[in-house]
Amino acid sequence: MADAKTRFVLKRLNWSEHWQRGPSRAPGEVALASFDTFEAADAERAKREAARRNGLNPFECGPAVQYWSHLDEPRLRDWLNDRGIDPPPPNQAWADWWKKHHKKLSDTQRAAVWEACDKVRFFAVREEPVRPVGYAVVGINWEYNDETYDADPDGGQLLSVYRTRERAEQRCAELNAAERGRWGDFVGDEIEPDEDEEYDMAMFDMQDRVRRKRGLARDEKLGKNEGLYNSVAQVPFFEVIEVELEGVE
């Protein structure tokens, strides 16, 4: 059991995805849940880590061995050989080798590859002091890309912080209503979306922001039209984010 003034926090490490380069580690991490014991937090970390690895090629998580492992390439090859795994020949890319051979490896051997790729981790457990939380009202940055508006995947403009979610949600609703009014005057009449319609492209797209918040890979599916908006009346221009407060009892 941790000291009464500390807790074990499960964090999602920040990975960004590029449509050509694949996932890459970025600065920062996001708190997902807290636990009284390290064992409980680590069990949840292991479960989420395993789910995130499913279908993922560890050798596409960065362009070279130093992005995957603290081992250099000769030691990585020795590591695999010691565990009965034939590494790729020098003329074959590691990512191509994994695509061709990973299904032929045993569960233990696949686990050994992931163990060696110790820089490719998506969750971590941190022991932290217990702090009170606040609720920040954040303006979402929307940018026009010549066809549609895209939401910034991260961050936003911090406007205010409240001690209760109810007050933050109330202020967020007020700001959204005012902003939608201004956009309505600018955009003009719009067709309300049909609930059964599947969008090929929407006027406002915040799917990358939704994915980043949930820690989803680009190929993991959202709900139908989730994060897509064809009506200004539904677009979130502001949202509430839970934050830890320091120096506040």
Q: Supply the angle between the helices 107-116 and 73-82 in degrees, to the nearest 10.
A: 160
CB contact at 8 A, 49 and 10: no
**Eight-state DSSP code of residue 22:** E
The DSSP secondary structure of 169-212, one letter per residue, reads HHHHHHHHHHHHHHHHHHH---PPPPTTPPPSS-SEE-HHHHHH
Give dist(CA 47, CA 135) in Å, integer: 29
**Tens digits of residue pLDDT in 104-127:** 999 999 999 999 999 999 999 999
pLDDT of 21 reads 64
| Residue 19 clears pLDDT 80, i.e. is over it | no
Cβ neighbours of residue 242 closer than 8 Å, sequence gap 6 or more: 133, 134, 135, 136, 165
For residues 5 and 95, the model is more confident at 95
**For residue 126, which of 242, 243, 6 has the smallest C-alpha distance?**
6
Q: What mean pLDDT, rounded, does the chain reach?
A: 86
| Residue 151 clears pLDDT 90, i.e. is over it | yes
**Which long-range contacts (C-beta less than 8 Å, at least 24 apart) are formed by 72-75?**
none
Give dist(CA 153, CA 151) in Å, integer: 6
Mean pLDDT to the nearest integer, 228-248: 86
Residue with tokens 């490896």: 105
**For residue 16, which of 223, 228, 227, 217 has the smallest C-alpha distance?**
217
Binned at pLDDT 50, 70 and 90, residue 154 comes out as confident
pLDDT of 190 reads 46
Mean pLDDT to the nearest integer, 81-85: 96
| Residue 188 clears pLDDT 50, i.e. is over it | no
Binned at pLDDT 50, 70 and 90, residue 232 comes out as confident
